[in-house]
A and B are shown apart, each in its own frame.
Chain A
Amino acid sequence: MSKTAPKTYITSGHSGCAGCCDAFAAKFTLMGAGPNTIVVNPTGCLEVMSTPFPYSSWQVPWIHSLFENAGAVASGVEAALKALGKKDDIKIVAIGGDGSTMDIGLGSLSGAFERGHDFTYVCMDNEAYMNTGIQRSSGTPFDASTTTTPPGKVSFGNPRPKKNMPAIMAAHGSPYVATTSIGFPRDMMRKVKKATEIVGPTYIHSHCPCTTGWGFDTSKTLEIAKLAVETCLWPMYEMEYGEITQVRKVKDPKPVEEYLRTQKRFKHLFTMEGGDEEIKKIQATADWNIKHFGLQ
């Protein structure tokens, strides 16, 4: 970060892996949101690595309750601030992984968005349950190998595509839904800042490559995050009240192979018979993204 970069509010000294995506995501989120922020953090790597009692990396007020209730906890924080006359000065940001956001916490999050609480939810999507040892979630992409979707004699790995979470959140009538990536820190900070300044429930879905879970060198986190965008497997866009208003263009999309080759979770596609056909299916997803979001 340059000397002019905004201050962050999560200190070093936590026990995250070298190259940890959650640490990047939390850092960029708070750089965007600023110090007058209460953070709600569902169970996951970020919570475990940042708060080993009696230590805490958080320089903003922070609450972790359970795995599946961040939406409701944030609702309560917001309601309490309103009732106590403190809401005008304080922002609320919930930040959780793909499991706590898209799977077990979806009901709670949906309720909070439907009720229109004024807070921002940031999903750090590293595409599997990393804290418990790389099990599949509904954020896991097609054909990825996880410990619960291993490739085998009759399987190429995860049989389903990623859940389209931003569309679900936009369908709640959210004034602002955006996708971003830790590979683009300025983009992420700008979108978080914008989201926290808009009144109402806003949602940021950040793509977060996990060195341990995806199988790549700890120095490559941001590089691989960029590759996902450059291959059009992770489109970056903003939506206001359900309409796409901004798209990050990709001038010369790279073939998905370049992204897949960097990660152990897709290694089997390059060694198994029929893997090339599977890679074509993944390329089709990227091609669909290019067309659907107008990435070029």
Chain B
Amino acid sequence: MINPAYKKKMVVVEGSYAVAHAAKVCRPNVISAYPITPQTHIVEDLSQFIADGEIPNCEYINVEAEFSAISALIGASAVGARTYSATTSQGLLLMHEALFNTSGMRLPVVMTVANRAISAPINIWNDHQDAIAQRDTGWIQLYVEDVQEACDTLPQLYKIAEDNEIMVPGMVCMDGFILSHVYEPVVLLEQELTDNFLPPFQPDDILDPEDPKTFGAFAAPDTYEEFRYLHEQAMQKALPKIEAVAKEFEEVFGRYHGGLIDGYMLDDAEIIIMSMGSILGTVKDVVDEYRAKGEKIGVLKVRSFRPFPKEQICEAVKNAHAVVVLDKNISIGTNEGALFTETKSCLYNSKVRVPVIGYTIGHGGRDIRVESIAKVIEKTKKVAKSGITVESQFLDLKEELL
């Protein structure tokens, strides 16, 4: 729904441009990136901003690989620079080792990930396998539903990540092509409002000859565990911060996309569809049709996958008769998507008793049609009535290709 108050501010631009513009108004000091489809337009647009001198006090590093893209930001962030990168798929996987290093050193680097499938077979289209594979790297992961949210979440994430009590890096996960290459009406973030909302980055510890500090020391068994504990504690502190910052953003900009989670037709819902990312738009359309027929179907959007909002999810689904989770990823060997597994996990020791089934969907960018969502809802209605027969399965599998 477009807020009428914003209609006149809206421009039709490509998703990548809107995101690049959002990164620009966050006033990064160092941008470091390597081109990979479908992230390319974001870094091309940022390069043009740099070429036109539109990002003050900012250096753009055209690195030779994604591994160096993130590594350069490790060095830059340690000096006290606000840092930005964008990547996807193989590029994100190439960063994997350095992602742990960034978060372990508690450097609040912020990245946009234009989610894309993983090779082999090579495939450039959207699913969430790339980012889900990074779930244990200790980064905050916020999944967005549309281009406006991809933009609005960037300053929010800087504010969360750079909080001195948190100091954890984060990625905004937006669906590759579906959001990165779509042209849709969007409010480009205003510089003045962004400056009001997002304070300058002022870390307590930096690399400075005036006050020499050691970053990235060696920790033996007598100290290593406490580093892991404190990192986890920081993530727990991020939970309320994500909620609070979303509300602060709403106060300044007038837009709200949810905090840790968001609900649509959720309050009285008997059947709940849970998912992350742009598929939620299609799901909401289908739910509207069901609601028109008087059926109590609702949508639970999970915006924060890391930290994982256990309490909020339990609370949101407690009165449902059945829940279905749609995952654009699979952990091969479990036959389950990650959101499904973790949702079941957080319910297990709670007082909430609700059957949950899962579908892994849209692998490698396969289109997810409204008919398929309707089919999922029908199956979930049966689960509500007579229990689970199939716990987790692929959606729209082409039997003739097997």
Set A51, A83, A114: member contacting B64, Cβ < 8 A: A114
In the complex, are the beta carbons of B67 and A61 less than 8 A apart? no
Which residue of chain B lies nearest to A77 when distances are taken between CB atoms in the complex? B75
In the complex, are the beta carbons of A66 and B97 less than 8 A apart? yes
Contact with A along B57-91 (1 / 0, CB 8 A): 11101111101110111111111110100000000
In the assembled complex, which residues on chain B have CB atoms less than 8 Å from the CB atom of A51? Answer: 214, 216-218
Contact with B along A57-87 (1 / 0, CB 8 A): 0111111111011011111111111111110
In the assembled complex, which residues on chain A have CB atoms less than 8 Å from the CB atom of B209? Answer: 35-38, 60-61, 89-90
When chains A and B are docked, how far (Å) is the Cα of A115 from the Cα of B63? 8
Given known contacts A52-B217, A83-B57, A110-B64, A66 and B71 CB-to-CB distance under 8 angstroms: yes
In the complex, are the beta carbons of A115 and B59 less than 8 A apart? no
**Any A CB within 8 A of the CB of B390:** no
In the complex, are the beta carbons of B63 and A75 less than 8 A apart? yes
**Most chain B CB neighbours (cut-off 10 Å) among A37, A61, A107:** A61
Set B63, B81, B98: member contacting A80, Cβ < 8 A: B81
Given known contacts A77-B76, A90-B209, A62 and B215 CB-to-CB distance under 8 angstroms: yes
In the complex, are the beta carbons of B105 and A52 less than 8 A apart? no
**Any A CB within 8 A of the CB of B398:** no
**Any B CB within 8 A of the CB of A143:** no
**Any A CB within 8 A of the CB of B374:** no
When chains A and B are docked, how far (Å) is the Cα of A68 from the Cα of B71? 9
In the complex, are the beta carbons of B208 and A76 less than 8 A apart? no
**Most chain B CB neighbours (cut-off 10 Å) among A37, A66, A79, A108:** A79
**Any A CB within 8 A of the CB of B182:** no
In the complex, are the beta carbons of A63 and B216 less than 8 A apart? yes
When chains A and B are docked, how far (Å) is the Cα of A83 from the Cα of B71? 17
In the complex, are the beta carbons of B218 and A65 less than 8 A apart? no
**Any B CB within 8 A of the CB of A48:** yes
The count of A-to-B residue pairs whose CB atoms sit within 8 angstroms is 163
Which residue of chain B lies nearest to A63 when distances are taken between CB atoms in the complex? B215
In the assembled complex, which residues on chain A have CB atoms less than 8 Å from the CB atom of B30? Answer: 76, 79-80, 83
In the assembled complex, which residues on chain B have CB atoms less than 8 Å from the CB atom of A81? Answer: 79
In the assembled complex, which residues on chain B have CB atoms less than 8 Å from the CB atom of A38? Answer: 79, 207, 209
In the assembled complex, which residues on chain A have CB atoms less than 8 Å from the CB atom of B76? Answer: 76-77, 79-80, 83
Given known contacts A52-B217, A69-B67, A75-B68, A61 and B223 CB-to-CB distance under 8 angstroms: no
**Any A CB within 8 A of the CB of B341:** no
In the assembled complex, which residues on chain A have CB atoms less than 8 Å from the CB atom of B2? Answer: none
Which residue of chain B lies nearest to A90 when distances are taken between CB atoms in the complex? B209
In the complex, are the beta carbons of A76 and B72 less than 8 A apart? yes
How many Å from the CB of B54 to the closest CB on chain A? 14
Set A40, A68, A75: member contacting B61, Cβ < 8 A: A75
Interface size on B, residues (CB 8 A): 43
In the assembled complex, which residues on chain A have CB atoms less than 8 Å from the CB atom of B217? Answer: 51-54, 56, 64
In the complex, are the beta carbons of B71 and A108 less than 8 A apart? yes
Contact with A along B6-35 (1 / 0, CB 8 A): 000000000000000000000001101000
Given known contacts A48-B218, A77-B76, A62 and B212 CB-to-CB distance under 8 angstroms: yes
In the assembled complex, which residues on chain A have CB atoms less than 8 Å from the CB atom of B63? Answer: 72, 75, 111, 115
Set A36, A64, A69, A112: member contacting B215, Cβ < 8 A: A64
In the complex, are the beta carbons of B214 and A62 less than 8 A apart? yes
How many Å from the CB of B132 to the closest CB on chain A? 23
How many Å from the CB of B162 to the closest CB on chain A? 15
Given known contacts A76-B61, A80-B29, A58 and B214 CB-to-CB distance under 8 angstroms: yes
When chains A and B are docked, how far (Å) is the Cα of A110 from the Cα of B65? 11
When chains A and B are docked, how far (Å) is the Cα of A84 from the Cα of B77? 11
In the assembled complex, which residues on chain A have CB atoms less than 8 Å from the CB atom of B105? Answer: 65
Contact with B along A264-296 (1 / 0, CB 8 A): 000000000000000000000000000000000
Given known contacts A61-B212, A84-B80, A76 and B75 CB-to-CB distance under 8 angstroms: yes
When chains A and B are docked, how far (Å) is the Cα of A259 from the Cα of B71? 40
How many Å from the CB of A43 to the closest CB on chain B? 9
Set B58, B73, B207, B220: member contacting A52, Cβ < 8 A: B220
**Any B CB within 8 A of the CB of A47:** yes
In the complex, are the beta carbons of B212 and A58 less than 8 A apart? yes
In the assembled complex, which residues on chain B have CB atoms less than 8 Å from the CB atom of A110? Answer: 64
When chains A and B are docked, how far (Å) is the Cα of A84 from the Cα of B81? 7
Which residue of chain B lies nearest to A38 when distances are taken between CB atoms in the complex? B207
**Any A CB within 8 A of the CB of B101:** yes
**Any A CB within 8 A of the CB of B213:** yes
Which residue of chain A lies nearest to B65 when distances are taken between CB atoms in the complex? A107
How many Å from the CB of B212 to the closest CB on chain A? 5
When chains A and B are docked, how far (Å) is the Cα of A75 from the Cα of B71? 9
Given known contacts A75-B61, A83-B30, A83-B81, A65 and B212 CB-to-CB distance under 8 angstroms: no
In the complex, are the beta carbons of A75 and B75 less than 8 A apart? yes
In the assembled complex, which residues on chain B have CB atoms less than 8 Å from the CB atom of A72? Answer: 63, 67-69, 71-72, 75
In the complex, are the beta carbons of A65 and B64 less than 8 A apart? no
In the complex, are the beta carbons of A65 and B74 less than 8 A apart? yes
**Any A CB within 8 A of the CB of B219:** yes
When chains A and B are docked, how far (Å) is the Cα of A234 from the Cα of B78? 37
How many Å from the CB of A79 to the closest CB on chain B? 4
In the assembled complex, which residues on chain A have CB atoms less than 8 Å from the CB atom of B65? Answer: 107-108, 111
Given known contacts A61-B209, A83-B30, A53 and B72 CB-to-CB distance under 8 angstroms: no
In the complex, are the beta carbons of A73 and B59 less than 8 A apart? no
Chain A contacts to B: CB under 8 angstroms: 35-38, 40, 47-48, 51-54, 56, 58-66, 68-69, 71-86, 89-90, 107-108, 110-112, 114-115
- Show 27 A/B contacts (Cβ-Cβ < 8 Å), sorted by A: A36-B209, A47-B216, A51-B214, A53-B217, A58-B214, A61-B208, A61-B213, A62-B214, A63-B214, A64-B216, A65-B75, A66-B101, A72-B67, A72-B72, A73-B71, A73-B74, A74-B75, A76-B32, A78-B75, A80-B30, A80-B59, A80-B75, A80-B83, A84-B29, A84-B81, A108-B68, A115-B61
Given A61-B208, A76-B77, 17 more A-B residue pairs with CB atoms under 8 Å apart are A38-B209, A53-B219, A53-B223, A56-B214, A62-B215, A65-B101, A69-B67, A71-B68, A73-B71, A75-B68, A76-B30, A76-B61, A77-B207, A78-B75, A83-B58, A83-B76, A115-B61
